[in-house]
Structure 1
Amino acid sequence: MATNVAMHPAAPAHLPGFITAPGETDPLFVGSVIFLIILVMGLGSLYFWLHSIPERLAHGTGKIQFQLVGVLALLALFTHNNLFWVFALMLALIPIPDFWTPLASMADSLASMVRPRRPPPDDAVDPALQPMLPLEHGTMHEAPHGEATAAEGHKP
């Protein structure tokens, strides 16, 4: 769209290509705006990608450690305090030993030892497997059915 616009008397005879006539679209401005939008989106993505490094490193760790790293990284993101991010990165890189699993296993074993045992039904007891009671001279004899042995102190 060429218009017959009179040149200003102070304007040089040849104008550079980035200067547009009044009322026309400025391609340099449009290109600059598109470039800046892409640049801001790219830098924002890079910022969030860098901010998620501690969480990605802690992904294979235990649940509690992963959650602590996530909270610290989120605090660093919202408060713009880099110290939280450094702590999250250090916590993600240091493996924390699992103390809970052995303790839970010990507690389960102790609980199973404390549970009272029910005696088997009378028809399920094999007489050949009856406990032996010691005699005075070191020989053994079979305990009568239903009686406790000296070592056990309770009924089978």
Structure 2
Amino acid sequence: MSEQLHPAAPHHLPFFITGPNEADGLTVFTGLLLVAAIFSVGILYWKLHSLPERMAHKSQKLQFELVAVLGLISLFTHMHIFWIAGLLLALVDLPDFGTPLRSIAGSVEKIAGAASESDVTIAPVSPATETVAPRAAGTEQEEVRRHA
């Protein structure tokens, strides 16, 4: 503080009262505390907002994508019901219908005698082996009778 005090001022002033042209330590500390608090609350908000997505990360791909879309919708619309729906969806384990259905489809293909795509091999056709046989007379009428 300056040497000359106002005559009405007390002789002992608290630490947060500064003289003219001096840095106010309490205001600087309060400003830094405010900036730290804003960043802390922002980080807490983002962690809380991504909670359903982090929970669904261990589940199936479809469930994870649904939870992620619900989280984005809630973020942009500010409707918290989408976040709650995403959280509930992340908590529930959806049954895996895809694996048994693929197994059933494979078994049905084997029963029907159909070859799967990996079993089919296509042999190249050379122009020398490719011949067209002439049709005999009357074969067209027989084919029409068979299909009718």
Query: Hey, what's the Cα distance between the residues in 1 that align with 2:18 and 2:76?
Result: 44
Q: What TM-score do the two structures reach when normalised by structure 1?
A: 0.64
Deviation at 1:31, TM superposition (A): 0.7
What residue is the counterpart of 1:102 in the other structure?
100
* 3-state SS of 2:57 partner: helix
Deviation at 1:91, TM superposition (A): 0.3
- Aligned pair 1:115/2:77, yes or no? no
Q: Which runs of 5+ in 2 are unaligned?
A: 121-148
Task: Give 1:36's aligned amino acid.
Answer: L
Kindly indicate whether structure 1 or structure 2 has the higher relative contact order, using CA contacts under 8 Å at least 6 residues apart.
2
Identity %: 47
Counterpart of 1:32 (choices 22, 30, 53) is 30
Deviation at 1:78, TM superposition (A): 2.7
Larger Rg computed on CA atoms: 1
Query: How much is the aligned-residue C-alpha RMSD, in angstroms?
Result: 2.4
- Cα offsets for 1:38-77 (capped at 9, x unmatched): 1111111111111121112111110000011111112222
Aligned to 2:49: 51
Q: Which of 72, 75, 78 is the matching residue for 1:74?
A: 72
> What is the CA-CA distance between 1:14 and the residue it aligns to?
2.8
Partner of 1:125: none
State the TM-score, normalized to the length of structure 2.
0.67
Gaps in structure 1 of 5+ consecutive residues: 119-156
